[in-house]
Amino acid sequence: MTTTSKDPNREPKLLLGPGPSNVHPDVLEAMAQPMIGHLDPDFLKILDRVQVRLRALFGTTNPMTLPLSTTGSGGMEACFGNLLEPDDEVVVGVNGVFGNRMCDVANRIGARVTRVDAEWGRVLDDDAMSDAIRRVRPKAVAFVHAETSTGVHQPVEAISRAAHEIGAFVILDCVTSLAGLPVRLDDWGVDAAYSGTQKCIGCSPGLSPASFSPRAVERAGNRTIPCTSWYLDINLLAGYFGGERVYHHTAPISAIFGLDAGLRRIEQEGMAARVARHRDAAEALIAGLAEFGFEPLVEPAHRLPMLSSVRLPASVKKLGEAAVRRKLLADHAIEVGGGLGALAGEIWRIGLMGENARRENVARLLDALRKELG
Ligand code: PLP
- What 8-state DSSP symbol labels residue 302? G
Of 266, 286, 319, which marks where a domain is finished? 266
As a whole number of angstroms, the distance between CA 358 and CA 271 comes to: 15
Same structural domain, 253 and 302: no
As a whole number of angstroms, the distance between CA 257 and CA 35 comes to: 10
Displacement of CA 55 from its chain's centroid (Å): 16
Residue 6, pLDDT score: 62
Closest-lying ligand 1 atom to the alpha carbon of residue 148: 5
Residue 243, pLDDT score: 79
Question: Ligand 1 mean position to 297 CA, how many Å?
Answer: 20
Question: Ligand 1 mean position to 289 CA, how many Å?
Answer: 26
Same structural domain, 279 and 241: no
Question: Ligand 1 mean position to 198 CA, how many Å?
Answer: 9
Question: Ligand 1 mean position to 365 CA, how many Å?
Answer: 24
Question: Ligand 1 mean position to 23 CA, how many Å?
Answer: 17
How crowded is residue 293: how many other Cβ atoms within 10 Å of its Cβ?
14
Same structural domain, 245 and 118: yes
Cβ of 148 below 6 Å from ligand 1: yes
Same structural domain, 125 and 250: yes
pTM of full prediction above 0.95: yes
Residue 203, pLDDT score: 98
Residue 1, pLDDT score: 39
Pocket test residue of 70, 148, 174, 200 for ligand 1, highest count of atoms within 8 A of CB = 148
Of 266, 283, 312, which marks where a domain is finished? 266
Residue nearest atom 9 in ligand 1 by C-alpha distance: 72
What is the tally of structural domains in the chain? 2
> 6 lies in a domain?
no
Same structural domain, 293 and 361: yes
As a whole number of angstroms, the distance between CA 73 and CA 242 comes to: 22
CATH number of the domain that residue 357 is part of: 3.90.1150.10
Residue 348, pLDDT score: 98
> 9 lies in a domain?
no
Question: Ligand 1 mean position to 194 CA, how many Å?
Answer: 10
Residue 7, pLDDT score: 67
Question: Ligand 1 mean position to 73 CA, how many Å?
Answer: 6
Same structural domain, 46 and 155: yes
Residue 177, pLDDT score: 98
Residue nearest atom 12 in ligand 1 by C-alpha distance: 72
Closest-lying ligand 1 atom to the alpha carbon of residue 146: 3
- What 8-state DSSP symbol labels residue 198? T
Residue nearest atom 5 in ligand 1 by C-alpha distance: 148
- Domain region containing 325: 14-20+270-373
Question: Ligand 1 mean position to 44 CA, how many Å?
Answer: 28
Q: In sequence order, which residues have a C-beta less than 8 Å from that of residue 309 and are 6 or more positions away? A: 121, 150, 151, 296, 297, 298, 339, 343, 347, 348, 349, 350
Closest-lying ligand 1 atom to the alpha carbon of residue 196: 15
Closest-lying ligand 1 atom to the alpha carbon of residue 147: 3
Are residues 348 and 312 in contact, defined by beta-carbon separation less than 8 angstroms?
Answer: yes
Are residues 308 and 296 in contact, defined by beta-carbon separation less than 8 angstroms?
Answer: yes
Q: In sequence order, which residues have a C-beta less than 8 Å from that of residue 326 and are 6 or more positions away? A: none
> 344 lies in a domain?
yes
Cβ of 98 below 6 Å from ligand 1: yes
Residue 120, pLDDT score: 97
Are residues 142 and 106 in contact, defined by beta-carbon separation less than 8 angstroms?
Answer: yes
As a whole number of angstroms, the distance between CA 82 and CA 96 comes to: 24
pLDDT by residue, tens only, the chain of 374 residues: 344 556 666 779 999 999 999 999 999 999 999 999 999 999 999 999 999 999 999 999 999 999 999 999 999 999 999 999 999 999 999 999 999 999 999 999 999 999 999 999 999 999 999 999 999 999 999 999 999 999 999 999 999 999 999 999 999 999 999 999 999 999 999 999 999 999 999 999 999 999 999 999 999 999 999 999 999 999 999 999 987 899 999 999 999 999 999 999 999 999 999 999 999 999 999 999 999 999 999 999 999 999 999 999 999 999 999 999 999 999 999 999 999 998 999 999 999 999 999 999 999 999 999 999 98
Q: In sequence order, which residues have a C-beta less than 8 Å from that of residue 179 and are 6 or more positions away? A: 57, 195, 199, 200, 201, 202, 266, 271, 274, 354
Displacement of CA 58 from its chain's centroid (Å): 12
> 257 lies in a domain?
yes
Question: Ligand 1 mean position to 374 CA, how many Å?
Answer: 34
Cβ of 107 below 6 Å from ligand 1: no
Same structural domain, 250 and 344: no
Q: In sequence order, which residues have a C-beta less than 8 Å from that of residue 142 and are 6 or more positions away? A: 79, 80, 90, 91, 92, 93, 102, 106, 170, 171, 172, 173
Residue nearest atom 13 in ligand 1 by C-alpha distance: 72
CATH number of the domain that residue 251 is part of: 3.40.640.10
Question: Ligand 1 mean position to 344 CA, how many Å?
Answer: 17
Cβ of 144 below 6 Å from ligand 1: yes
Same structural domain, 220 and 325: no
Of 243, 266, 289, which marks where a domain is finished? 266
Same structural domain, 187 and 111: yes
